[in-house]
Structure 1
Amino acid sequence: MALIALRRSFPPPSSFRGSGALAAAARNHQPANPGPAVPLDSRHLWLCSLLQRGPSRVRFHHALCKKFHSENGKDLQPAGERVLSPVRNWDALKRDLKKENEKAFCRRLNSCTSSEELLGVVNTLETLPDTLAAAALQRICEVERRPSDQRLPKEILEHSAFQALCFRFERAPSDLSNAALVTGLRALILLHVDPQSRLIINLVAECHNRLRRGGLESHNLCILGESLIRLQGAACMMLELILCQLRGKKLETFTPEDTVAIYRILQACPEKADQHQTFLNAINNFAPSIVSHLSPKSISQILTALVVLDQTQAMPLVIKLGKSVVRYIPYFTNEELRKVLEAFIYFGHYDRFFMRALEQHIASLCLTLDPAVTSTVMEYCSKKLILSKPILNAVAENFVCQSEKFSPTQIAELIEPFGKLNYLPPNATALFTKLENVLSTRFSSFPPKTLLRLLHSCSLIECHPVNFMARLFSPIFLQQLQGGQLYLDRLSLARLTQLFMTSVLECPFYKGPKLLPRYQVKSFLTPCCSLETPMDFPLYKSVMMGLIDLLGSRLYFASKVLTPYCYTIDVEIKLDEEGFALPFTADEEVHKRVALCIDGPKRFCSDSKHLLGKEAIKQRHLQLLGYQVVQVPCHDVEMLKSRLEVVEYLQRKIFAQNSAIKW
């Protein structure tokens, strides 16, 4: 259906011609005199969402599509038909006709599934306003979705309708509306038109002129800012002027899409975050009010920008976004979900409703999980110490079925949480058999430190990597582990030492090379990189008072005792052969040593009574070294209401094997 141009004494609306008139105009380079056009919403350019959706006041009948003519240049009526309305109603009729035609064109654009089909639609039209021309270019972008380094096919670039569209924007950019100007520029940039072409240069120059005059609205500023970043990078000189003008706008005028675009613009230049922090603070305070209107993609983009811009003070916004994420988890793409999880890891955000929804989502995918998402989900559980059995079980099944899809780093990120969280899945045998096969065939492809972390985490849950210990303790591997540094980092040395202790205490059948003394540490408890969790002081204080009452003096127990085996015992009590406590300074007549493990909340998985892997291996090794290990967990002590109850509890714990001893 061709668009109708109603001719009156005033200039015609902005338009350009299709296959006939458009091509002729492109050949002759004759400038047109386009008038103002209706701005187009960039959120749904092909849907023309700025057009009113209500019914027109005049129904668009076929009879109105006939040729119009005017005898005196003012009175307008269809040939051979009676006048439909007075002259004062022609403006309304013209607007209705224009809206109907634009809606019809938008519907045709939206129905196109290829650039050729789309250009064919454009080629059939006699007139096209500049805003709809920009919409056509934008729709080509949506249909093509080509990689960032791939240009349009030659047949599209040389298509007469496409060249006419480009010429329409090149010949008179000053006549374009603001919406058409910035939308057309964005579309042409996304279509990888040569940045040095006269078309792009003219459009950028016109945008610069309007920007200096301050005539661009908030939405157009956002579109222009993102387009210039894509075209010229974050160092673009106009970007600062755009941000300056955006700062001067009222926050209430920003749509949700504008707010997201501002975050993306600022994300492109994180080095200027401090310079724009006041503006960022205002946006961070405003953004929670529009969270309910954001799409999953927009939520993911805002969270990513907050991470890049290091907005740790924007926790109210992060929490609000986190609550909104819960209902969108099934609708995120793999990349979007990964970005959300990375942001939650960065900000330390945890929500039980989010975890419940994530568990359902991961369990439903199970065997089709994306490796990148899988490793990020496991990293989130590991960082937050979340023992989520549905997630861990699904991930274990996924790895057994498609281990070849995982990179060495992703394999380590997938396996480490099992050791850290001290959890063996139901298919543990199949999981670690598959892991052993992967390591046997791809051992050299694993970075040395990644491999050490992986095998150490296996030992935490008694899945000892005996077949690989000889390689770990070999001088060649230790040299690779050290790299170009003068010394190995302390955490790597601690892991090597604990693996060596595991080979001695839990794998007596291992007869391979030993770890050289110079690679062994003296203590696993260090301030910066520790294989033990420091003692919780408030909990220790409660237990200490109970021990004084129980044993009669502070002399009968020692605190923070470093053993010859690298472990630090929270409280050590020495007993003689009859089961009585000896002074902690005694070295003779010591028949038994009691290692009291005062386990605070940080030694357990989050919201759980499940001990972490590094604490489990410590207690296991102390028992093998001859200590009587007595665990005093925080959740037990918190239930005791008086000092007397604490004393009775400690007596039952410490002297349970000798009922004759009474306090």
Structure 2
Amino acid sequence: MLWGMLYWRLTALGRLRLAVASQKKWNVEVSSGQLRSSHSDREQQQQQQQQQQEHGQEPSYQIPQTTCLLEYRVPYSPSAYPIARPGRTPPTAPAELEEDLAIPTSPPPGARQLCNPYSVSSSRRLSSVKNTLLDLTFSRPAVAHRPHKEGDGYTPREDHDFNSKEDPRAFQRERSEYSVLCHDLSEPQFPPLSAEEASLLLHRVTVLRGGLQPDAIVDFLSALGRLPPPLRPPVRGDSRFAMLCRYAVESLPRMCPTQLLALLRAFVCLELPPGHSMLALYEAELCRRGGMLNRTQLLLAGDLWRCLGRSAPLYLDVTLTQLEQSWQELSVAELVQLLYLVGEGRRAPAALLPRLELLLLQYLEELTAEELGAVSLGLFKSQSVLSQCTVRRLADIGLAQLPGMSNLALVNLLKLLRFSRLEHRGLLRALGQEVPRRAGALGPPALMHVALTCSTLRYRDERVLEAVAAAVLPLASRCRNKDAAKLLWAFCSLGYDPRNRTAFLGSLIQQLRVRTEELERYPQHLLTALLALAFAGEFPSDLVGLALSPRFVSLASNFHQLELKKDLFMLDGSVGLELPDWVGPRLPSQLCHEVTKVLWGIAQEDMCQRPEVLEAEALLQELLGGPSFVRKHMILPHTRSIDLEVCLESSGRALPLNECSTLTALAPPNPRARTASSRGWEEQHTAVPLTEDLLAKLLNNLTLLPPSQPAELQPQHSTPCRASEENSRQICSGVILTEGLLDALTGRPSTALPLPPRPTGPRRLAVQVCSRNQYCSDTRFLMGLHAMKRRQLGQLGYCAVELHPWEWLPLLRRSRADKLAYLHSKLYSTLD
């Protein structure tokens, strides 16, 4: 027996020496964070690493190893693996390290196997429940690249600062209070940990194993967080790091809040993937302890989740619930940081938001320009609806601080104005000086947001739009599909053609062609771009064919985030009208019928019930002879608007719509004919008959109406002085003088082109009760959608008759006779 034991000890010692000699033959060298080995197995491993790098995966190992992680056939040997005893210090001497490096071999028959307390395989036999939660795959580099489903607590890192030249967290350097509320990503970790130190530290984890206490785990992970960026991926892929993470999870209930936050900070420094299954356990633990954390710890943990790129919605709910009880005690820095986290979490607290708005109004004067930008971005991302008064005050503060405001803060403020639909005149006018000065320093997303704000607020400023168009052109290759689509939408919806129109549109269209692989993930961007181009009369055949292809139509129709069927219908309807030779794919008739039914239902509930529309419909029926002469419907359903259709003979007699349809059915109008709707006002009204009635109206005298006029328009008294107050308003109302009318009356020379031959046969009129939203703010430029509708009505053979809001809405408060006279002049002027 004694000889047997001596034999096995000598055998183990011999194997130890052989293992040490074999280990020295590896000749491990560190070069640019990668292992180089002369051993054939390591060469194969290096080839695998290169293949992983080519596929965008993290290499498995790039630091020198002090343990040999070969496959253990029989991982137990009592002579080579001394049993750990309580109170034993970890081995640090070289001899002890060599002892731990011994490779176990198979014992002779009959030898009893003892559990190896230091082997990697033994660490996988922890709690089966914990291992299930941790997926047993900590060391897989593919964890960072696996797809995540919506609702699993994972949110990809935001791309709002894509190509941005400024730090979106710059506001956290405005006050010293942020140092305890936020994690400074730019803070250098001194002194950095070397590869050898990291390997030794991981080896100590295998030695201590179950003896690791929470403070030691925190110290180890915090030390690993000081690794330089090139050495972090191999550490995350090391099995010993997975072992350390498992021990940390087991010790979670014994850790204090400070230790939990230190672990999260270490994970941020190690750039742990946001989809790591272990992080869900930490979130659950922090949610459980939400009532034990103070405001500083709550906000710091939320910021660490943000730095990890994980949304942590459950933890955010706990934070908002806790802060709701002490919202009045929040300082300026705490309020700004909270709104920042609310925005990054994309959720607005319904109960807490009104209180935060009151607190925000209290601290408005204390906010710096960068904090104002962070608040605006948080409110915008969380879709928080504030009162117009609060948003206007934020814009006032921003206007006062505009010269010293960073580009990022200015863009964030514009995002809030766009979401709130607040037309702040002072700030918008200031953009005329600021945007040309800053455009060269803005990236494509920032330029897109500036143009999109102008479009949403219907603000058409040539200085702003020209500066954006000039700055976008050299940056077109850096535009995402989102940037290109929304830039096209902004310019085309405003109906503005920049000086470099051909190059501007061509570069953005080309960028859409280059990034077609993104369209399956974001189909709305292609439809946005094509609809914008349709406003401008541009139809790139390849992209239109792609958008109307059965595969893309199926993809867009089933897109759960947005309703895209209406956009497909608008594009298809525009193609059918403006591309008569189109032979590409079209939408199925069933889908078109379905969308038309939905749009008409919406129109009946909204547009058809507006007072100005109902009044125009009733008066037109009275003027023309009854309901059969006026039809309220959607002539062009894909434009999502209604019209009052009227049919007049060339003599001026109104025709019932069924008779008009019968007369024109055999001779459809030429879609390419130039109609009155496509000509300017001066072209339509260069010859105005100067009658006594018109002179009387202009001179505010008694109106002498011909017998053909309605009886309601004839005066009831012979002189104005004897008329009643109502009739006096009718007599002295006058007509609206426009430049075209004055030109015709005074004989002023006109540069208008000669009128085309007068059309014969009945005229189909589309009477449109316009709203101010159809025009650019404070101008008479039609927005892109409505300009396209006018163009397509002309191609269909209709003459558009516009009841301008600045003319029709004031008339609603006047007499019926004035309104009838206005409608009469609008209708019959199309026959002149």
TM-score strictly above 0.5 = yes
| Mapping 1:74-223, distance limit 5 Å | 145-146=186-187, 151-154=189-192, 204=258, 222-223=295-296
In the TM superposition, 1:419-430 aligns within 5 A as 419-430=492-503
Corresponding residue for residue 130 of structure 1: none
Match of 1:622 in 2: 793
Q: Structure 2 CA distance, aligned partners of 1:599 and 1:288?
A: 38
* Matched-pair contact (CA < 8 Å) for 1:296–1:332: yes
**In the TM superposition, what is the alpha-carbon distance from 1:435 to its structure 2 partner?**
2.9
| Partner Cα separation in structure 2 for residue 357 and residue 499 of structure 1 | 37
1:245-256 matches, cutoff 5 A:
247=325, 251=328, 255-256=331-332
Q: Indicate the residue corresponding to 1:127 in structure 2.
A: none
1:403 counterpart (452, 468, 476): 476
Counterparts of 1:428 and 1:392 in 2: how far apart (Å)?
12
- For residue 557 of structure 1, report the CA deviation from its aligned partner: 1.9
**SS in structure 1 opposite 2:596?**
coil
Partners of 2:319 and 2:579 in 1: CA distance: 68
Report the alpha carbon displacement of residue 630 of structure 1 after superposing the two structures with TM: 1.3
Q: CA 1:533–1:381 in structure 2 vs 1: closer, same or farther (change >3 Å)?
A: farther
The reply on whether 1:497 has 2:551 as its aligned counterpart is: no
Paired with 1:565 and 1:300, the residues of 2 have a C-alpha distance of 39
1:358 aligned partner: 431
Deviation digits for residues 420-443 of structure 1, max 9, x if unmatched?
Answer: 222222221221222343344444
Mapped pair 1:455 → 2:628: no
Once the two structures are superposed, residues 310-357 of structure 1 have per-residue CA deviations (whole angstroms, 9 ceiling, x without a partner) of: 642555433322221123344444443343333333333331112122
Does the CA contact (< 8 Å) of 1:334 and 1:370 recur in 2? Answer: no
Measure the CA separation in 1 of the matches of 2:185 and 2:304.
Answer: 19
Instruction: Pick the aligned partner of 1:645 from 813, 818, 821.
Output: 818
Q: Contact 1:523–1:566 at 8 Å: present in 2 too?
A: no
Work out whether 1:656 is the aligned partner of 2:825.
no
CA 1:221–1:449 in structure 2 vs 1: closer, same or farther (change >3 Å)? closer
Q: Which amino acid aligns with 1:614?
A: L
Deviation at 1:622, TM superposition (A): 1.4
Alignment of 1:166-315 (within 5 A): 204=258, 222-230=295-303, 247=325, 251=328, 255-261=331-337, 263-264=339-340, 273=349, 277=351, 281-307=354-380, 311-313=384-386, 315=388
Distance in 2 between residues matched to 1:362 and 1:306, nearest whole Å: 23
1:377 aligns with 2:450: yes
Measure, in 2, the Cα distance between the counterparts of 1:268 and 1:143: 17
Query: Matches of 2:313 and 2:636 in 1, distance apart?
Result: 58
Q: CA deviation at 1:573?
A: 1.2
1:613 counterpart (784, 794, 797): 784
**Root-mean-square deviation (CA), in Å?**
4.8
Q: Give the whole-Å Cα distance in 1 for the aligned partners of 2:341 and 2:553.
A: 46
Shift of 1:564: 9.2
Q: Distance in 2 between matches of 1:596 and 1:547?
A: 10
Higher relative contact order (CA 8 A, sep 6+): 2
CA positional deviation for 1:596: 0.9
Question: What secondary structure does 1:257 align onto?
Answer: helix
* Preserved CA contact (<8 Å) 1:525 1:533: no
> The residue matched to 1:571 in structure 2 has which SS?
strand
> Which of 765, 771, 778 in structure 2 is aligned with 1:600?
771
Shift of 1:223: 4.0
Which of 1 and 2 has greater Rg?
2
Change (3 A) 1:533 1:365: farther
**Distance of 1:528 and 1:151 partners within structure 2:** 62
Inter-partner Cα distance in structure 2 for 1:658 and 1:419: 32
Cα distance in 1 for partners of 2:610, 2:546 equals 41
Cα separation, 2, equivalents of 1:369 and 1:528:
43
Partner amino acid for 1:425?
Answer: P
Q: Secondary structure at the match of 1:573?
A: strand
- CA shift, 1:203, in A, is 8.9
- Structure 2 distance, partners of 1:542, 1:572, is 15
Instruction: Give the Å deviation of 1:243.
Output: 7.9
Q: Which amino acid aligns with 1:455?
A: L
Q: Which residue of 1 aligns with 2:413?
A: 340
Contact 1:523 1:562 in 2 (8 A): no
Identity of aligned residues (%): 20
Q: 1: distance between equivalents of 2:805 and 2:321?
A: 52
Cα deviation per residue 1:90-114 (whole Å; 9 max; x = unaligned)? xxxxxxxxxxxxxxxxxxxxxxxxx
Cα distance, 1:221 vs structure 2: 5.9
Report the AA paired with residue 389 of structure 1: E
Structure 1: give runs of 5+ residues left out of the alignment.
1-134, 159-187, 208-219
Contact 2:639 2:785 in 1 (8 A): no
CA distance 1:519–1:284, shift in 2 (3 Å): closer
- Offset, 1:306: 3.7
TM-superposed deviation, 1:519 = 5.3
> What CA distance in whole angstroms lies between the structure 2 residues aligned with 1:395 and 1:555?
51
Note the C-alpha offset of 1:192. Answer: 7.2
Q: How many angstroms apart in 1 are the aligned matches of 2:782 and 2:793?
A: 15
Give the equivalent residue in structure 2 for 1:367: 440
Asked if the contact 1:296–1:331 (Cα under 8 Å) also holds between the matched residues in 2, the reply is: yes
Single out whichever of 360-369 and 617-626 deviates more from structure 2: 360-369
Aligned counterparts of 1:235 and 1:479: Cα–Cα separation in 2: 32
Cα offset for 1:454? 0.8
Contact 1:225–1:239 under 8 Å retained in 2 = no
Distance of 2:453 and 2:780 partners within structure 1: 19
Deviating more after overlay: 551-560 vs 508-517: 508-517
Give the direction of change, closer, same or farther, for the CA distance of 1:236–1:384 in structure 2 (3 Å limit).
closer
Residue deviations 1:397-433, cap 9 Å, x none?
2222220111112111111122322222222122122
User: Matched residue of 1:154: which SS?
Assistant: coil
CA distance in 1, matches of 2:542, 2:348: 52
2:596 is matched with which residue: 523, 537, 546?
Answer: 523
CA drift of 1:240 comes to 7.0
Q: Could you tell me whether the CA contact under 8 Å between 1:533 and 1:602 is conserved in 2?
A: no
Distance in 2 between the 1:567 and 1:258 partners?
Answer: 46
> Is the 1:415–1:457 contact (alpha carbons within 8 Å) kept by the matching residues of 2?
yes
Cα distance in 1 for residues equivalent to 2:479 and 2:184 = 32
Would the aligned equivalents of 1:338 and 1:376 in 2 still touch at CA under 8 Å?
yes
Instruction: Find the residue that maps to 2:495 and give its secondary structure.
Output: coil
- The 1:497/1:246 distance shift into structure 2, 3 A limit, reads closer
Give the conservation status (yes or no) of the 8 Å contact 1:556–1:582.
yes
Maintained 8 Å contact 1:623/1:629:
yes
| Contact 1:497/1:519 (8 A) holds in 2 | no
Letter in 2 for 1:651: H
Q: Distance in 2 between matches of 1:582 and 1:511?
A: 37
Task: Report whether the alignment pairs 1:581 with 2:654.
Answer: yes
Cα distance between partner residues in 1 of 2:314 and 2:452:
37
SS in 1 for 2:401: helix
Q: Secondary structure at the match of 2:499?
A: coil
Q: Give 1:580 deviation, angstroms.
A: 0.7
